[in-house]
Structure 1
Amino acid sequence: MTQPTWDAVDAYFSEQLIGHDPVLEAAAAAADAAGLPHIAVAPNQGKLLHLLALTAGARRILEVGTLGGYSAIWLGRALPADGTLITLELDPVHAEVARGNLARAGLQQVAEVRVGRAADSLAALVADGAEPFDLVFIDADKPGNPEYFARALELTRPGSLIVVDNVVRGGAVADAASTDPVITATRRLHELIAAEPRVTATSVQTVGSKGYDGFTLARVQG
C-alpha cells in the first residue's frame, strides 16, 4: 500500500461520513494563509475526537497544542452550551489564528486559548485547583509528552480519557536504540503509562492522509 492509496481512502470516508463543512474548511484555509505548518489532524481523526468526547459525555476538555484550532473546533462542537474547552498554544500567532477560527465556529463562549509553554500552563491549572477535565487531547511538542501526560493525570478524574497523538512516528517508536529525542520521549511516555496503575491504555497504528502514525488512548481508572 502507498500514500496515494491512503489519501484516496481517507478522501472516500471523509466524503461519505463527514461531507462538506464550510467552518472546518475555512479554518484550514485560514491556517494555510497564516503560514501555519500542515500538521493539524485529518478530518476523520477530528471526527474521532468529536465522537470520543460525545461518548464520554465531556463537559470539560483540555487540549495541549492548539495550532490553528482545527481539532479544537471538533472538540468544542461536542460540548454542551455550558461546557468548557481550554486549549494551550505556545505561539501567539497560532493562537490568534485559532481564536479567529473558534469565533467563526461560534465556539468563543466555550473555548479559551491560553498562550505560553504548555508545561507552565498545565502547572498553573494544577496550582489553581482546576476542576477535573473529562477528556485531554495531547498534540504538542513530542519531547514534552511524558510531562504533559503526568500533568493530565493530575487534571482528570476516574472515567476521564487522555488521547496522545503521533505516537507511532512511521514505526520508529519500535526502535529501542533510537537517540532521536522525539522517539526517546515517546518510548518514555509509554513506559510511564505501562507502569501507571491509575490508567488502562492501548495504542492504535493508523495510515491515511497524514501518513503512517497512530495514537494512544488511556482511561483514568482511579
Structure 2
Amino acid sequence: MDQDRWTAVDSYFDQHLAPHDDALDATMRACAEAGLPDIAVAANQGKLLQLLARMVGARRILEIGTLGGYSTIWLARALPADGRLVTIEADPAHADVARSNIERAGLADRVEVRVGQALDILPTLDANTPFDLAFIDADKANNANYVRWALELGRPGGVIVVDNVVRRGRVVDADSDDPSVRGTREAIELLRSEPRLDATALQTVGVKGYDGLAVALVTS
C-alpha cells in the first residue's frame, strides 16, 4: 500500500471516530498561517491520547512539546473542569500560537503553557502533585531524559506516551549517528530496563506516513 491509501484510511477513521470541530480546524489553520511545521499528531492519534487520558481518569496531564496546541486541546478535553494540563514549549513563537488556539477552544482555564527548555522546567514542577499521564513529543535526542522525568513526576497507574519512535524504521540502526535515533533507542532501552515501567511500542501508518509510538504503564 502507498501513502495515498494510508491517508484515505485515516480520513475514513477520522470521519467516523475522530471528527474535527471548529476549534480543531481553526487550530490547524492558525498553525499553518504562522508557519509552524506540519508535525502535529493526526486526528486519530489525538483521539487516542484523549481516550488514554480518560481511561486513567486523568486530572493532571504533562505534555512535553506543545507546538501549536493541537494535541494539547485533545488532551485537555479529557480533563474535568478542575483538571490541569502543563505543557512545555521551547519556542516562544510556537507557544504564543498555542495559547491563542487553547483560548479559542475554551480551555485556557485548565492549561498552563510553560516556555523554555523542558529539562530546565521539569525540575521545577511539583512531584507532590503527580501527573496521571505524560505525552512526550519534543526533541527526540532527549527522549530518555523526558521518560525519566515523566516517571519521576508521575504516579503508579499512570501512563507515559512517547511519540515518533520508529524514525521511519531507522530505530533499528544501532550504529546510527542521528541524535534523534540514538535518543529514541535510549528511551526504548530505558522502557525495557526500568522496573517501574511496563511498556510496548507500535508501528503505525497513516496521514503522517510511517511512524509509531510507545506506551508505558507506571507500575510502582
Structure 2 counterpart of 1:105:
105
Which whole-Å deviations, capped at 9, do the CAs of 1:63-106 have from their partners, x for residues lacking one?
00000000000000000000000000000010010000000111
2:54 and 2:127 mapped to 1: Cα distance? 25
Check the 8 A contact 2:62/2:135 in 1, yes or no.
yes
1:148 and 1:60 mapped to 2: Cα distance? 17
Q: CA deviation at 1:188?
A: 0.9
Q: How does 1:44-193 map to 2 (within 5 A)?
A: 44-125=44-125, 128-193=126-191
2:66 and 2:127 mapped to 1: Cα distance? 22
1:18 maps to amino acid: A
Check the 8 A contact 2:127/2:152 in 1, yes or no.
no
Corresponding residue SS for 2:81: coil
Which stretch of the first structure deviates more once superposed, 19-28 or 98-107? 19-28
Q: CA deviation at 1:196?
A: 0.3
Corresponding residue SS for 2:204: strand
RMSD value, Cα: 0.8
Which whole-Å deviations, capped at 9, do the CAs of 1:110-167 have from their partners, x for residues lacking one?
0000000011111111xx4451000000000000111111111110010010000000
1:20 and 1:71 mapped to 2: Cα distance? 12
1:124 and 1:93 mapped to 2: Cα distance? 22
1:148 and 1:9 mapped to 2: Cα distance? 32
2:148 and 2:99 mapped to 1: Cα distance? 27
Q: CA deviation at 1:172?
A: 0.7
Q: CA deviation at 1:19?
A: 2.5
Check the 8 A contact 2:127/2:154 in 1, yes or no.
no
2:190 and 2:43 mapped to 1: Cα distance? 30
1:130 and 1:45 mapped to 2: Cα distance? 30
1:215 maps to amino acid: L
1:72 maps to amino acid: T
Corresponding residue SS for 2:201: strand
User: Aligned match of 1:199 in 184, 197, 200?
Assistant: 197
Structure 1 counterpart of 2:38:
38
1:156 and 1:98 mapped to 2: Cα distance? 24
Corresponding residue SS for 2:39: coil
1:32 and 1:177 mapped to 2: Cα distance? 36
Check the 8 A contact 2:204/2:211 in 1, yes or no.
yes
Corresponding residue SS for 1:86: strand
Q: TM-score, normalised by structure 1?
A: 0.97
Structure 2 counterpart of 1:6:
6
Structure 1, unaligned stretches of length 5 or more?
none
Structure 2, unaligned stretches of length 5 or more?
none
Q: CA deviation at 1:17?
A: 1.4
Distance 1:106 1:196, change over 3 A: same
